[in-house]
A and B are shown apart, each in its own frame.
Chain A
Amino acid sequence: MIFTEKAIYRQIPLLDLDGPALFALSQDMKLSLSEEDMLAVQHYYKNTGREPTDVELEVIAQTWSEHCKHRIFSAEITHTSSSGEEVVDSLFKTYIKEPSEEIFEAKPGFVLSAFHDNAGFIKLDDERAICLKVETHNHPSALEPYAGANTGIGGVVRDILGAGLGANPVANVDVFCFGAPDTPQSDIKGDDVIHPLGVMRGVVRGVRDYGNRMGIPTTGGAIQFDPAYIYNPLVYCGTAGVIKIKDIDKQMAKDLKIVALGGRTGRDGLKGATFSSAALDTDSHEEDQTAVQIGNPIEEKKVADCIFAARDEGLVTFLTDCGAGGFSSAAGEMLSDVGGEIFLEKCPLKEPGMESWQVFISESQERMVLAVTPDKVERVKELATIYGTEATEIGHSDGTGILRVWHHGELVCELDNNRLHNPPRQLRTSRWTPDAPDNSHTWADEDLGASLDGMLGDFNICSRAPVIREYDHEVQGNTLLKPLAGATGDAPQDGSVIGIDGSDKAMSIALSLLPEWGKYDPYRMGKACVDECIRQLVLTGGDPDQAAILDNFCVGNPDDPEELGALVEACKGIAEAALAYGAPYISGKDSFYNYFQTEDGPVSIPTTCLISGIAVVHDRKHTTGSSLRKAGSALCVIGAGSGLMGGSVYARRVGITTAEVPDLDCAAALARYRIYAQARDAGQILSAHDLSEGGLGVALAEMGFSMKAGIEVDIDQVDTPATATPAQRLFEEQPGRILLEVDPDHVDSLRDLFADDSFKHIGSTTTGTSDLVIRDAAGVELLKADLAELKATWKGTLAEFY
C-alpha cells in the first residue's frame, strides 16, 4: 500500500490583499470563487488571526462551489416578467422545498425522507421504501465522453449506496442531450471540440460499461438532439433504489470512527466540483485533464456488496459517498455538526508524492465513507477483505463542532463548520419578457404521409434501439415493462416498471424533458414536463396519488438575465404542476455554465429541465404497455387538444418558432389520470400511449409498431378546436392527453367514466392489413401509410450512426 511520507502544504497570504487581488488569487488557484466570496474568506481569517492553508482554501472552494452548494438556486433574484417585477427569495425554497413540504403535510407517511440525504425515499409497502436520484455529469462528458459518462453513472449509484444505511440499486436511467450526429464538421466553431457523434458514442458506451458491469439494469432513458448541445452535451444519470424502512434513518454522533471504504485515492478527478461550476472553452481540454475521473465498476460492485453486508449486520451508524470534493465533502458532511478529525497519512493512495490538499480533495472514484462505533471497525475491515475491497480507518468524530485535518502531525486544515457551510448569498437579476406569440400560421399540409414519415425519422423521435440495446435491461430479473416491448420486442414504451423483490408491489419510473418548449415558454415547459412524467408513471401502472418527482435543471449562462429569467419561469411552472398533482419533489440537482465561447461568440444550451419520477404500482398485473395488442380494438383519445403548435416537433420542422406553446389544466389532468388508473386496474385498458412529441400521428404509428394490426382513424373525431387543420389534429402536442386501445365492449362504460372529460372514440385497429389510414368525417383519405415502412424509417435513422 502507498501512503504519503510527509505533509506537503503551504500558507496562502491573503489577509492584506484587496478585492481584485483576492479574485486574481482565486483565478490562479482555480477556486472559482468570486471576489465577494474571497472577501468573506478573508474576513473569516482576519477573525482567526492567521493566513489560510492551501488545503483550507481548496475545501472552501469545493464546498462553496455551485456544484456542491447550489448557490444560484439559493440566491435572491429580482425578476422582471410580463407580470411586473418580483423578488424571488431562493428558487429552491420558493418553488421546490415549500410546495413539496405542503404536499408532505397533505400526504403524511408517504415521503419518508427528502432534501437531506443522498436520495429521497417514498413508502412502497409496510416494510420497504423506494428512491430515485438523478445527477448530471456534463462538463466531464464534454471533455472526455466515455470517462465522463462512465463516472456519472458510478457517482449516482454511489448516491443510492449512500442513501440511508445503504439502499440497493435496482434500475438505472439515462438522459442525454447531444448535437445531431450528422453535424457537418464545418459547423463546429472551436478547436478540440469533440464531434457530437464522438460524444454520443463515448457517452453511450461509458454508461454501458459501468451500469452493465455493476449488474444494474438500465430500464429507461431519453435522447434530445439540438445544435445548442454541440459544445455542451448534457448527461443525466439516474439510479433507483430500494431499502428497508428501518434502514433509512441515520444519525452522526461523537466518538465514532470514520472509515474509508473502496478504491484508493489518486490525482484523477482533482477539482471536479470547481471545474463543473465553470464554463468551457477551447483551453479546457489541455488544462482540465485531471478533472476527468476514470471509473472502475468492478471495484464499486465490491464496495456495494460490502456495504450491504455491513448494513445487514448492523455495523453502520452513518454512511455517505465520496463524490464532488472527495474526502473533504464526505467527511465535511458527516462532521459538519458534530466535528472531528481526519488523518490524511492514513489514506491509502494510488500513487506517491501527493500533496495534502490533493489527498483531501481528490475525487477518485468508488469510495464511500462510513461512521462506525469503535468496536465494529475490525468487522468492517473483515467484510472488506471478504468482498475484495479495502477499509481504512482515517479519523473520528469528537463533538467539538470543528473539522480538523491532520497530516503527519501537522494541522493542515481547521475550519468552523458553521462558517464553512454559510457562503455569502448571491443577489441576481433576471428577466423573461418575450414577444407575444403569433398564431397566424395556417398549418396547411399537402402531404400528411410524408410529414409523418419525416417526423418518425426525425432525430428527436426516431427509435433509440441502437443505444437501448447496449444496455442490459434484464439483469436482476425484475424488469416488468422494458424500454422496447410489444409483440416484436422493439416498440417504444412510455416508462418502465420494476418489480421489487419480496414485495407484491412494483415501481414505475418515467422521465420527461422538452427543451424545445423551453426556448419559447419555459413556464409552460415546466408544467408540461411534470405532467408528462406523471402521465407516463400512471399509464404504465403507477398510482397517480403515490408519485414523487425530481427536478434536474441544466442552464447555459446564469449571469445572463434572460437565461436566468427562463429558469425562474420554468421553476414557477414545475412548482404549480407539482402542487396540482400532489407530487412532491424528493430530490433535485442543477448544472450551470453550460455555454461555450466559440470564435463567433458564446453558445448556450436552452434551459433544459428534466423531470423524473417514481410511483407505486400496487399490483404487478397493472403494468400496461404502449403497443397495440390486437385487431378489432377501439382507439380512443382522452383529453382535448388546443390546436396550439408552439414548441412542437412539427413546428420546428417547418421552421415556425413564433407559435404559442400549449398550456395545461393540471387539476383536470389529474382527475383524468385517476379515472384512467381506475379503468386500468379494472382491466379495461389493452394498451395506452401518451400523446407527446409528434402528437397523435406519431403516437398512432408507435402503437402500431407492434405490427399486430392496421389502424383506421377519423381525424374529425379528435376533440380540438373546429378550425384546427388535419396537421394540427395529427401533430399538436397538447399535454395531458392519452391514446387508448380498448375492447369495443368497454367503449360505452369508459365514456361514462370520463363523462366530465373529453373522451372520443376516434377509430379502430384493423385486421388483414398493416396500413395506418387517416380519413376525415366525409371519408376522404388524408393519409395512408404502411406501418412496416414507417417503422423502417423510424428504426433506420440512428442506426446509421450508432
Chain B
Amino acid sequence: MPTTTFEVTGKFDSPADCSTLLYAPLEEAATYRHSTVYEFDFDGDAEKLEGFAYRILVDYHAQELHSGDDPAIKDFGFFLEIGMKPGALDNEKEAILSYYQALKDPGFELTSLKILRRYYIFGTDQPATFVRDMCNPAVHVWRVG
C-alpha cells in the first residue's frame, strides 16, 4: 500500500524568532519556519488523492502544496517534526477523515493518515533544546531531520 506525502507551506511566511518556541533564549540568533506534513496510506488513484489534498488541505490564496518526501523549505540547520501519538485524538485528522468518509466514490481508499508539524530551524544545528521544549513524550512522537 503506497504512502504519499504532502507538505503545506505558507506563501507569505517569513522566518520568525525561535525564542517564541523555547523557554529560554538561545545563545545564537535562530529563526524558524513551519509547515504541516500529511502522510496518506492509500489504495487507488494517486491523482485523485492529490486533488483531494489540494481541495481540502490548502488555502490556495495563502498556501502552497508540495508533493513528495523532499523538504519543501531549503537551507535549514535541521527540522523537527512533531505528531500526536497513536491513540491520542487529533482533531484535524478527525475532521479530514470525517470529510473523506462522507464522499461518494472519491477514487481512492484511505487507510491511514498521519499529520506532523514540521519546524525548520535556521541559524543553529543543535536540536536538543528544541526537542526538550517542544516535544511532550506524553502525547507526541517526533523526528529530527
B23: chain A residues within 8 A (beta carbon): 181, 185, 195, 197-198
**Interface residue B2 (Cβ < 8 Å from any Cβ of A):** no
Q: Chain A interface: which of B6-14, B49-57, B116-124, B135-143?
A: B135-143
Q: Are B136 and A144 within 8 A (Cβ)?
A: yes
Q: Which of B57-98 contact A (CB under 8 A)?
A: 85, 87-91, 94
Cα-based distance from A642 to B136 in the complex (angstroms): 48
Q: Are B88 and A286 within 8 A (Cβ)?
A: no
Q: Bits for B105-145, please: 1 = Cβ < 8 Å to A, else 0.
A: 00000000000000000000000000001001111000000
A666: chain B residues within 8 A (beta carbon): none
Q: Bits for A282-312, please: 1 = Cβ < 8 Å to B, else 0.
A: 0011101110111010000000000000000
Cα-based distance from A267 to B86 in the complex (angstroms): 11
Cα-based distance from A350 to B90 in the complex (angstroms): 12
B139: chain A residues within 8 A (beta carbon): 144, 147, 289, 292
**Interface residue A445 (Cβ < 8 Å from any Cβ of B):** no
Q: Are A289 and B85 within 8 A (Cβ)?
A: yes
Taking the closest CB of chain A, its distance from the CB of B130, in whole angstroms, is 12
**Interface residue A378 (Cβ < 8 Å from any Cβ of B):** no
With A197-B23, A198-B23 as contacts: A266 and B138 at CB distance below 8 Å = no
**Interface residue B24 (Cβ < 8 Å from any Cβ of A):** yes
Contact partner of A285 (CB less than 8 A), chosen from B89, B91, B133, B136, is B136
Q: Are A289 and B88 within 8 A (Cβ)?
A: yes
Q: Are A268 and B138 within 8 A (Cβ)?
A: no
Q: Are B138 and A144 within 8 A (Cβ)?
A: yes
Taking the closest CB of chain A, its distance from the CB of B24, in whole angstroms, is 6
Taking the closest CB of chain B, its distance from the CB of A183, in whole angstroms, is 8
Q: Are B91 and A268 within 8 A (Cβ)?
A: no
Q: Are A294 and B87 within 8 A (Cβ)?
A: no
CB closest residue in chain B, given A288: B138
With A185-B24, A289-B138 as contacts: A294 and B88 at CB distance below 8 Å = yes
A194: chain B residues within 8 A (beta carbon): 136
A147: chain B residues within 8 A (beta carbon): 139
**Interface residue A724 (Cβ < 8 Å from any Cβ of B):** no
A198: chain B residues within 8 A (beta carbon): 23, 133
Taking the closest CB of chain A, its distance from the CB of B53, in whole angstroms, is 23
Contact partner of B138 (CB less than 8 A), chosen from A184, A267, A285, A296, is A285
**Interface residue A537 (Cβ < 8 Å from any Cβ of B):** no
CB closest residue in chain B, given A145: B136
With A147-B139, A185-B24, A198-B133 as contacts: A268 and B89 at CB distance below 8 Å = yes
B88: chain A residues within 8 A (beta carbon): 268, 289, 292, 294
**Interface residue A143 (Cβ < 8 Å from any Cβ of B):** yes
Q: Which of A178-205 contact B (CB under 8 A)?
A: 181, 184-185, 192, 194-195, 197-198
Q: Are B87 and A285 within 8 A (Cβ)?
A: no
A197: chain B residues within 8 A (beta carbon): 23
Cα-based distance from A292 to B87 in the complex (angstroms): 11
Cα-based distance from A675 to B138 in the complex (angstroms): 54
CB closest residue in chain B, given A268: B89
Contact partner of A143 (CB less than 8 A), chosen from B24, B90, B138, is B138
Interface of A is mostly: loop
Q: Are B24 and A285 within 8 A (Cβ)?
A: no
CB closest residue in chain B, given A209: B91
B136: chain A residues within 8 A (beta carbon): 143-144, 194, 285
B87: chain A residues within 8 A (beta carbon): 267-268, 289-290, 351
Q: Are A286 and B137 within 8 A (Cβ)?
A: yes
B24: chain A residues within 8 A (beta carbon): 184-185
CB closest residue in chain A, given B24: A185
B89: chain A residues within 8 A (beta carbon): 266, 268, 293-294, 296, 350
Cα-based distance from A144 to B88 in the complex (angstroms): 12
Q: Are B91 and A294 within 8 A (Cβ)?
A: yes
Q: Are B133 and A195 within 8 A (Cβ)?
A: yes
Taking the closest CB of chain B, its distance from the CB of A801, in whole angstroms, is 9
Taking the closest CB of chain B, its distance from the CB of A291, in whole angstroms, is 9
B91: chain A residues within 8 A (beta carbon): 294, 296
B137: chain A residues within 8 A (beta carbon): 192, 285-286
CB closest residue in chain B, given A291: B138
Taking the closest CB of chain A, its distance from the CB of B96, in whole angstroms, is 14
Cα-based distance from A376 to B24 in the complex (angstroms): 58
A144: chain B residues within 8 A (beta carbon): 136, 138-139
Cα-based distance from A350 to B138 in the complex (angstroms): 20
Taking the closest CB of chain A, its distance from the CB of B31, in whole angstroms, is 19
Q: Bits for A344-373, please: 1 = Cβ < 8 Å to B, else 0.
A: 000000110000000000000000000000
A267: chain B residues within 8 A (beta carbon): 87
CB closest residue in chain B, given A197: B23
B133: chain A residues within 8 A (beta carbon): 195, 198
A351: chain B residues within 8 A (beta carbon): 87
Cα-based distance from A147 to B88 in the complex (angstroms): 10
CB closest residue in chain A, given B139: A144
A181: chain B residues within 8 A (beta carbon): 23
CB closest residue in chain A, given B137: A285
Q: Which of A147-161 contact B (CB under 8 A)?
A: 147
CB closest residue in chain B, given A365: B89
Taking the closest CB of chain B, its distance from the CB of A434, in whole angstroms, is 35
B87, B89, B94, B139: most-surrounded residue (chain A CB, <10 A) = B89
Cα-based distance from A181 to B23 in the complex (angstroms): 8
Cα-based distance from A147 to B136 in the complex (angstroms): 11
Cα-based distance from A296 to B138 in the complex (angstroms): 19
Cα-based distance from A294 to B86 in the complex (angstroms): 13
B23, B90, B139: most-surrounded residue (chain A CB, <10 A) = B23
A266: chain B residues within 8 A (beta carbon): 89
Cα-based distance from A195 to B133 in the complex (angstroms): 7
Cα-based distance from A194 to B85 in the complex (angstroms): 18
Taking the closest CB of chain B, its distance from the CB of A465, in whole angstroms, is 18
Taking the closest CB of chain B, its distance from the CB of A601, in whole angstroms, is 23
Cα-based distance from A267 to B23 in the complex (angstroms): 32
Taking the closest CB of chain B, its distance from the CB of A521, in whole angstroms, is 34
Taking the closest CB of chain B, its distance from the CB of A61, in whole angstroms, is 21
Cα-based distance from A195 to B22 in the complex (angstroms): 10
Cα-based distance from A464 to B24 in the complex (angstroms): 20
Cα-based distance from A486 to B55 in the complex (angstroms): 47
Cα-based distance from A144 to B137 in the complex (angstroms): 9
Cα-based distance from A181 to B19 in the complex (angstroms): 13
B85: chain A residues within 8 A (beta carbon): 289
Cα-based distance from A284 to B89 in the complex (angstroms): 19
Taking the closest CB of chain A, its distance from the CB of B72, in whole angstroms, is 26
Taking the closest CB of chain A, its distance from the CB of B19, in whole angstroms, is 10
CB closest residue in chain A, given B140: A144
Q: Which of A324-350 contact B (CB under 8 A)?
A: 350
CB closest residue in chain B, given A351: B87
Cα-based distance from A329 to B137 in the complex (angstroms): 29
CB closest residue in chain B, given A140: B138
Taking the closest CB of chain A, its distance from the CB of B16, in whole angstroms, is 15
B138: chain A residues within 8 A (beta carbon): 143-144, 284-286, 288-289, 292
Cα-based distance from A284 to B139 in the complex (angstroms): 12
Taking the closest CB of chain A, its distance from the CB of B111, in whole angstroms, is 14
Cα-based distance from A184 to B89 in the complex (angstroms): 32
Cα-based distance from A143 to B136 in the complex (angstroms): 8
Taking the closest CB of chain A, its distance from the CB of B12, in whole angstroms, is 23
Taking the closest CB of chain B, its distance from the CB of A241, in whole angstroms, is 25
A290: chain B residues within 8 A (beta carbon): 87
A195: chain B residues within 8 A (beta carbon): 23, 133
CB closest residue in chain B, given A350: B89
Q: Can you name 13 A-B residue pairings with CB atoms under 8 Å?
A: A143-B136, A144-B136, A185-B24, A197-B23, A266-B89, A268-B88, A284-B138, A285-B138, A289-B85, A289-B138, A294-B89, A296-B89, A296-B91
Q: What are the 6 A-B residue pairs with the smallest beta carbon separation, nearest first?
A: A294-B89, A195-B23, A197-B23, A143-B138, A285-B138, A285-B137
Known contacts A144-B136, A184-B24, A293-B89; 17 additional CB pairs below 8 A are: A143-B136, A143-B138, A147-B139, A185-B23, A192-B137, A195-B23, A197-B23, A198-B23, A268-B89, A285-B137, A286-B137, A290-B87, A292-B139, A294-B90, A294-B91, A296-B91, A350-B89
